[in-house]
């Protein structure tokens, strides 16, 4: 696992630190959503490596300093499937369960996500947790093409996506958790 983490850091330091932050927040939100110990363990690993598939994304897409065009976005959208294959190749006993969460972290609650167009409870709860935290961290972090967004603006955008990209119950749990622990995010 350390070799995978180092590979991600060497490929793109932003992605590595994003994954670390997402991992910390996912563990706390997963506990808050009453995931059992096994699911929490899978979520912790999936969060840490959810973007490992970006290792296979060409530099002109991964490191592009502006918004991606449609062709670049299509290439970037392959990273969950690439990540699934990379993690599955670790041979760990839990590799398939973790790889499934990695594959599912861009699925949307309303079925409009990718790569499989899963909907609602067909998306594992741990992947729905990962989706919320991933979106939160991505928007509250500085990116090459924009500054970090204000937390209140990000929460507005997540609320607007509730029932669409975001599971409303997971978002409610996340909001409650942030009220209880404002320094978390």
Higher-confidence residue: 81 or 9? 81
State residue 39's pLDDT score: 97
Output the CA torsion 8→13→14→18 (10° steps): 50
Specify the DSSP element, H or E, that contains 131.
helix 125-140
Q: How far is CA 38 from the centre of its chain?
A: 19
pLDDT tens for 127-137 read 999 999 999 99
Q: What is the pTM of this model?
A: 0.92
- 114, exposed or middle or buried, with CB in 10 Å at 0-12, 13-18, 19+? middle
| pLDDT band, residue 67 (cuts 50/70/90) | confident
Provide the percentage of residues in the chain whose pLDDT is more than 90: 76
Q: Is the pLDDT of residue 5 over 90?
A: no
Q: Is the pLDDT of residue 58 over 70?
A: yes
For the chain, how are helix, strand and coil distributed in percent, rounded to 5? Answer: 65, 0, 30
Handedness of CA 160, 113, 117, 12 (dihedral sign): negative
CA 15-86-117 angle, to 5 degrees, is 80
φ/ψ (deg, to 5) at 113: -85, -165
């Amino acid at each position: 696992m350390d070799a995978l983490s180092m590979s991600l850091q060497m490929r793109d330091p932003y992605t590595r630190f994003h994954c670390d932050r997402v991992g910390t927040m996912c563990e706390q939100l997963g506990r808050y959503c009453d995931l059992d110990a096994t699911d929490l363990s899978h979520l912790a690993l999936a969060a840490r490596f959810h973007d490992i598939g970006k290792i296979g994304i060409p530099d002109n897409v991964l490191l592009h300093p502006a918004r991606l065009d449609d062709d670049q976005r299509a290439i970037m959208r392959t990273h969950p499937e690439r990540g699934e294959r990379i993690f599955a190749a670790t041979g760990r006993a839990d590799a398939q369960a973790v790889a499934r969460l990695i594959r599912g972290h861009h699925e949307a609650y309303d079925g409009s996500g990718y790569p499989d167009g899963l909907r609602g409870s067909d998306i594992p709860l741990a992947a729905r947790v990962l989706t919320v935290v991933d979106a939160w961290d991505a928007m509250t972090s500085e990116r090459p093409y924009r500054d970090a967004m204000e937390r209140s603006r990000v929460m507005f955008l997540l609320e607007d996506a509730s029932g669409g990209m975001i599971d409303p119950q997971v978002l409610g749990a996340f909001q409650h958790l942030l009220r209880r622990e404002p320094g978390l995010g």
